[in-house]
Structure 1
Amino acid sequence: MSLTKVIKQEARALGFVAVGIAPVSDEQEAVGPGDGQPHPVQSPFSRRLYDRLTEWLRQGHHGTMAWLERTPEKRADPRQVLPGCRSIISVGMTYLTDHRANEQPGYGRIARYAWGKDYHKMMSNKLKQLEARISSLVPEAHTRSYVDTGPIMEKAWAERAGLGWIGKHSNLVSSDHGSWLLLGEVLTTLELSVDEPATDLCGSCTLCIQACPTNAIVQPYVVDATRCISYLTIELRGDGSMISPDLQQGMGNKIFGCDDCLDVCPFNLRAEPTHETTFQPSPVTLAPSLDELSRLDEQTFTTLFQQSPIRRAKIHGFQRNIAIAQHNKPRPTSLPS
């Protein structure tokens, strides 16, 4: 069995339902000006990533996420993250469960990925195990793994590795697993057998664009984060005055993240639920009572969401989101006398 097949087999044994290999570049290195040291030549693919990222930043679509402005050339070229990087092992894990959220009045809505425990630690541990296996097979190989935490444009590399394509909502879509894949990657100096890039199968479908309640998908494949409910409820700091009235209205009952553009994707009909315990919901995340959550103090918030991605919003952001959802709660209509 080839090294590439062994690595893929190990990844699947660790619970990753999708795995593919993307080439970083086959171009030679050039000597940098003045220092006589080799520097990687940016490949055409990395150049396209750089141009796409810098244009998105120029438009101000990143809002207050200032860290995205730092070293965009590094984000576009993995060899500036791991010198000598030749391949990226892209993996995906489905987080779809067979549960349904409580949509009755008085309850908030939390994005599916945050129904269970924080996936970063679980997936990172699995990728560390994959790195250890690679090291045992090829001791001289260098690797580095990330789950959302590194300067890697993971969706673009996952698309190049054949895991799926970037849909018009800017998220990855898999023909097998729909929109419900969480991504991770292992950068390696190994030159592995690569997979065919995925083909965009969105066609003329615009369901995700139509479904966005705040019109955050400003054009196909481009999301203005400053209008996206996920950004507004998670990344944006400050009180309710930071969010315009029209965006607050569009948030509806969403108190952490949003799945609207993902829920409507036709490819979700093929997705199978996961049995991974990390993603299984708790009673609070499946049926978050707005009244009960509005009364949380900081200590209770920290205890309740100790192992949850919801911690990222912090107590003040979470309470702000709850207050907006309560304001948006449908008012009972009075019956004619």
Structure 2
Amino acid sequence: MNIANHKLKEEIIAFSKEIGIDKIGFASAGVFTGLKERLRVQQENGYQSGFEESDIELRTNPDLLLPRAKSIIAIALAYPSKLKDAPRSTREDRRGIFCRASWGVDYHHILRDKLRQLEAFIKERQPDALMKSMVDTGELSDRAVAERAGIGWSGKNCAIITPEFGSYVYLGEMITNIAFEPDQPLEDNCGTCNKCVEVCPTGALVQGGQLDSNKCIAFLTQTKGFLAEEYRTKIGNRLYGCDTCQTVCPENKGVDFHLHPEMEPDPEIVKPKLKPLLTISNREFKDRFGMISGSWRGKKPIQRNAILAIAHYKDKTAIPDLLELMKNDSRPVIRGTSAWALGKIGEMSTLEALENFKEIEQDEDVLLEIDRGISMLLGES
């Protein structure tokens, strides 16, 4: 064992606590051979979302990302799971919800800042050190690194579960050419529990630890096109993300940490009124929601999801807003989803309006949605 590297590891651990990193672990930078096979299966089955790095070699071989890589430092920060002073959703003002991982300041910024501080700390002590850090959007699998580094075990819900903070943790990592003694992975504690798989709203958890991303509500809420009809009623009032597989996990029972002020949610932002979202301008959206991670795809998916949430509630007070969108919105997805929502709400007085819109609408996809809306109103579907 390199005594200097052992001492540096202890110093890094102490410094990580000083700057507010809740867990830190060290892993070898060897090829993730088990992950490589799992990713091949994911690709072959068409289970990938398209948001992740497509090159399996880059996702599993740290040496391709940092030549002569020896170690990976994994970090985790705990985020809140309970919303204090949550506003109530009323019949006049229905509300949507952003998932917990989108509460507070965008976690990418928070973790990148922590990793930058770690890099500077290491560079001061070892000037020739090479480092490459990443959070979520990097090539490596955050989960695979955290698992190898002993941060937590990989749960059946495809999240890293820590003994201290459950799965409510953000993950990041740093590849380095410094050879640190690796930490031991934790034992899988899911056992026979299968709750997350059983309650997944869309059956996206094919089996424990295997996710069909294309069925996952967390992914679906981030898409920009028309949502397949089979998933529209599964969205509920979710505007971004889904927490179901976390909230049912026994390891998360009673877990709620408020350790980082920047992660504290603004109740009016993470549980906003739905109707104002339908007409929010780009500038207003950026000013209000730009600092949270759930805004990264822009306002269009959020607005589409807000329309689906209104349909979920069968909110008749939103009918004038939906009719206005059908009349004036330039985006087919918004017009078409509004037509479907009107049918779902089921107010017969909107039938004539839908039939009138059908006469002037030019987009084939929107016309299909208008037909669906009319059919629902007439009880034909």
Do the structures match in fold with TM over 0.5? yes
Q: Matched residue of 1:251: which SS?
A: coil
**Which residue number corresponds to residue 16 of structure 2?**
11
Match of 1:197 among 185, 189, 206: 185
1:13–1:196 Cα change, 3 Å: same
Cα RMSD over matched residues? 1.9
Match 2:45 to one of 45, 48, 59:
59
Looking at secondary structure, tell me which structure has more helix per residue: 2
1:237 aligned partner, one-letter code: K
Q: Which amino acid aligns with 1:309?
A: S
Structure 1 window deviating more from structure 2 (8-17 vs 177-186): it is 8-17
Look up the match of 1:80. Answer: 64
1:306 and 2:316 equivalent?
Answer: no
Does residue 104 of the first structure (1) align with residue 109 of the second (2)? no
The one of 156, 177, 196 equivalent to 2:144 is: 156
1:68 is paired with a residue of what secondary structure?
coil
> Where do 5+ consecutive residues of structure 2 fail to align?
1-5, 317-381
Instruction: Provide the residue aligned with 1:23 in structure 2.
Output: 28
Residue of structure 2 in register with 1:185 after alignment? 173
Are the counterparts in 1 of residues 78 and 259 from structure 2 also a CA contact under 8 Å? no
Output the CA distance in 2 between the equivalents of 1:305 and 1:220.
34
Structure 2 match to 1:49 = 35
> Secondary structure of the residue that 2:192 maps to in structure 1?
coil
Letter in 2 for 1:93: L
Corresponding pairs, count: 308
In 2, distance between residues paired with 1:88 and 1:140? Answer: 17
- C-alpha change, 1:160 and 1:62, in structure 2 (3 Å) is same
Aligned partner of residue 208 in structure 1, secondary structure:
helix
Q: Aligned residue for 2:272?
A: 288
Task: State TM-score, norm by structure 1.
Answer: 0.86
- Note the C-alpha offset of 1:284: 2.1
In 2: Cα distance, 1:16 partner to 1:211 partner? 32
Distance 1:263 1:319, change over 3 A: same
Q: Among 212, 219, 222, which residue is 1:224 paired with?
A: 212
The reply on whether 1:68 has 2:53 as its aligned counterpart is yes
Higher relative contact order (CA 8 A, sep 6+): 1
Deviation at 1:269, TM superposition (A): 3.0
8 Å contact kept, 1:255–1:321: yes
Look up the match of 1:237. 224
Answering whether residue 127 of structure 2 is matched by residue 139 of structure 1, we say yes
- Structure-2-length-normalised TM-score: 0.77
Matching residue's letter, 1:68: E
The corresponding residue for 1:28 is none
1:306 Cα offset (Å): 2.2
C-alpha contact 2:165 2:257 (8 A) present in aligned 1 = no
By how many angstroms is 1:103 displaced? 6.2
Change in 2 beyond 3 A, CA 1:175/1:211: same
**Structure 2 SS opposite 1:90:** strand
Displacement of 1:257 in angstroms is 0.6
- Contact 2:105-2:263 at 8 Å conserved across structures: yes
> Which residue number in structure 2 is paired with residue 321 of structure 1?
305
1:121 to partner: Cα distance: 1.4
1:247 aligns with 2:225: no
Number of the residue aligned with 1:38: none
The one-letter code of the counterpart of 2:34 is R
The CA distance in 1 between the partners of 2:254 and 2:66, in whole Å, is 36
| 1:178–1:270 Cα contact (<8 Å) kept | no
CA distance in 2 between partners of 1:98 and 1:255 (Å) = 17
Q: Distance in 1 between matches of 2:221 and 2:285?
A: 16
Q: Which of structures 1 and 2 has the bigger CA Rg? A: 2
Question: Contact conserved, 2:269 with 2:289, CA < 8 A, in 1?
Answer: no
Among the aligned pairs, what percent are the same residue?
Answer: 31
